[in-house]
Copies of this chain bind each other. A is one copy, B any other.
Amino acid sequence: MGQERIIHAALLGAGTVGSGVYKLVKDLEEEIISKTGARLVVDKILVRDTTKAREGIPSELLIDRWDEILNDPQIEIVIEVMGGIRPALTWLEEALRAGKQVVTANKDLLAEYGEHLFDAAEAGKCDLHFEAAVAGAIPIIRPLRQSLVASELTEVMGIVNGTTNYILTRMTEDGMGYEEALALATKLGYAESDPTADVEGYDAGRKVAIMASIAFNSNVTFSQVYTEGITHITAEDIRYAKEFGYVIKLIGMTRLTEGGVEVKVHPMLLPEQHPLSTVRDSFNAVFIHGEACDDAMFMGRGAGQLPTASAVMGDVIDVMRNILHHSCGKIGYGCYRNLPVKSAEDTVSRFFLRIQVTDKPGALANIAGILGNNDVSIAQVVQKRSHDGVAELVIITDPVREKHFNDALSILKGMSVLKEVSGVIRVYGN
């Protein structure tokens, strides 16, 4: 028997996900040997404060200087689960250029500096894996880069934020208002004390930027993503949506169209039969459409310690196999197309519009006229009984260029018959 092959790794960060990764490294020790032929050892764990005790992590592994990892020739894999743009960007670029393989769960970094990292990976002929950065435990990056690579994808849309899906589920199923549902999500640990990144769609926007880049082989950054959150969604919107046969979800979507790539995050009315409509609570799911593969959907846990750690470790095991077969850097970022990203105004959507209007003869005709003059055609309309002389109109439009819809809305807002715009939400479908 020859000497056992050991692959040494360093972990950056020992928070929730970091502890989960370390736990799986220990739990799966023998499995990893069976699956790869080598033993995985985490030698060093980089943290800000080495004096702080961390459950399950031997304190002698803790260090606080990056150069001890960078300059350690034994360390072949750097596992980054500390988050944030700096210093992670610098460190990972240095690691890759030094020929170390990188596994990261850092969506902020990839969504803004993906191209930089991939340049560094290419320079160092290294693996850069990041399955955990999008939709946690759901395999989505690897299917996009490998399994579905022969399918000319045209649309990727997903529920990629568990916090907002939990809130919308409570509003839909239990009739809660937004504030009440948010409070419950916070209490249960689904929402952070500052929920901005989740409820404003920024978190989903980062994930959709990454998915767009991989799916369409063209670099898309977070700053190019139109984002709109769920804070304006009301229990009434949800009730009306239901009346029309729809469910409201926060959707991150990207489409490949003639004029370029569309990338948007916003609430959306989905038909009740759409596969994404059945994704409840804090589950995530990604729905794709491709020329050859047709429709497909992947659902699972988008966050949580062990689900995220399992995605990280799936990547680490893959990197180990590549190290042992001298095949790191095999699959690049692949952003060989330079497609323009369309502004939201140039994309086409259907809209759900809920407005309060003075209940007098001709009001509807007036409004319909303004919509029509701006190329907004009405697919469905419901007028509800009026209270105190104000009637509620709920309109679902046909597909319209968003600019035209916005123009029409501006004009409506200037009309004396219009008392309030209560809800404007996009609607799925053509």
Contact = CB atoms under 8 A, between A and B. Distances in A.
Contacts of A278: 275, 278
Contacts of A304: 294
Given A278-B275, A307-B294, A316 B24 contact: no
Contacts of A31: 152
A306 B327 contact: no
Given A20-B292, A321-B330, 18 more contacts: A28-B150, A137-B292, A137-B294, A139-B147, A139-B296, A146-B317, A147-B314, A148-B314, A275-B278, A292-B309, A293-B300, A293-B301, A293-B307, A294-B304, A294-B306, A294-B307, A296-B298, A296-B301
A322 B316 contact: no
A201 to B, nearest CB: 24
Interface in A298-334: 298-301, 304, 306-307, 309-314, 316-318, 321-322, 324-327, 329-331, 334
This chain: copies in complex: 2
Contact of A296 (B150, B299, B325, B329): B299
Given A322-B327, A326-B326, A327-B326, A314 B137 contact: no
A303 to B, nearest CB: 11
Interface residues of A, number: 61
A142 B217 CA distance: 21
A383 interface: no
Contacts of A143: 139, 142-143
Given A294-B301, A306-B292, A321-B330, A151 B139 contact: no
A346 interface: no
Nearest to A309: B292
A297 interface: yes
Nearest to A32: B150
A81 interface: no
Nearest to A328: B325
A316 B137 contact: no
A275 B299 contact: yes
Given A150-B28, A299-B297, A322 B330 contact: yes
A3 interface: no
A384 interface: no
A321 to B, nearest CB: 5
B24 A292 contact: yes
